[in-house]
Amino acid sequence: MCSGRVDLAFVFRAFSNGMDGVFIGGCKFNECNYGTHGNYHALNMVLLAKKIMEHIGLNPERLRLETMSSGDGIRFAEIMSDFGKTVKELGPLGKGEGIDAKELDSKLAEVTKLVPYIKIAKKEKLAARIENEAEYNDHFTRDEIDRLFSEVTSYYIDPGKCKACTICAQRCPAEAIISAKKQIHVIDQEKCIKCGTCFEACPSRFGAVTKISGEPVPPPIPEAERAVR
């Protein structure tokens, strides 16, 4: 599998499953057999993941990307030996950083849930091609990641504008919209992955879906009051 297909969600799922380290190996830069140069996408993903790891208190050295050719057997063995040594020195995931197990599980669950939103919010940088190693550290900044999590965009259906057309509910990839015939729709914020599909799908003549950033989402309208008048 091309390293460019290693999704951000895969990395944090591995950590959620208790892996102490994640290694990604790819082809050498500018030597892609298929011309897709997916390893540049992998690089951007890893740089972003490392900054997110710092944000939640995990040592970014637990994640590593290396590029090599099929003839680099000795180098591969040396790299894996070095990475294994690094992970062993860091200790078990979370414990090595002094993070309580429940707190770590909560943080990883939050990040995993927000992966679709993060990929949309940072799609331009994730698609960039960085060839100068001096730019690696500053491609994603700590302040940028802090804002990413503090200003998370949420979506809310305005009860006064919803016409119960069900279009948003049909399009929602997470099945996070509670809908019924002739009833105002409600977004289940626990299931919502912040992808914005509902916002784009809602007919402009209704404009019922509102984008909210950095503010709490209004409570859902009580079920008994959801009938469309």
Instruction: Extract the tokens encoding 215.
Output: 């503010």
Beta pairing, strands 63-67 & 22-26: parallel
CATH 3.30.70.20: which residues of the chain? 153-225
Residue 36: per-residue pLDDT: 82
CA nearest neighbour of 217 among 197, 187, 172: 187
What's the pLDDT at 218?
94
CB-based contacts of 74: which residues, under 8 Å, 6+ apart? none
Whether residue 1 is predicted with pLDDT greater than 80 in this model: the reply is: no
* Sequence-distant (≥ 6) Cβ neighbours of residue 69 within 8 angstroms: 27, 28, 31
Average pLDDT on 157-163 reads 96
The CATH fold of domain 153-225: Alpha-Beta Plaits (3.30.70)
Is the pLDDT assigned to residue 37 strictly greater than 90?
A: no
Summarised one tens digit per residue, pLDDT across range 67-110 is: 998 889 999 999 999 999 999 999 999 999 999 999 999 999 99
Averaged pLDDT of the chain: 93
Residue 33 pLDDT more than 80? Answer: no
User: Please, are residues 185 and 192 in contact by the beta-carbon 8 Å criterion?
Assistant: no
Higher per-residue confidence, 45 vs 193: 45
Structure pTM? 0.84
Q: pLDDT digit string (tens) for 13-23?
A: 999 999 999 99
CA atoms of 58 and 14, how far apart (whole Å): 13
Cβ contact 119:126 at 8 Å: yes
Question: How does strand 209-213 pair with strand 183-187?
Answer: unpaired
Continuous H helices in the chain: 8-16, 38-56, 73-90, 101-121, 123-126, 136-139, 142-150, 167-171, 197-201
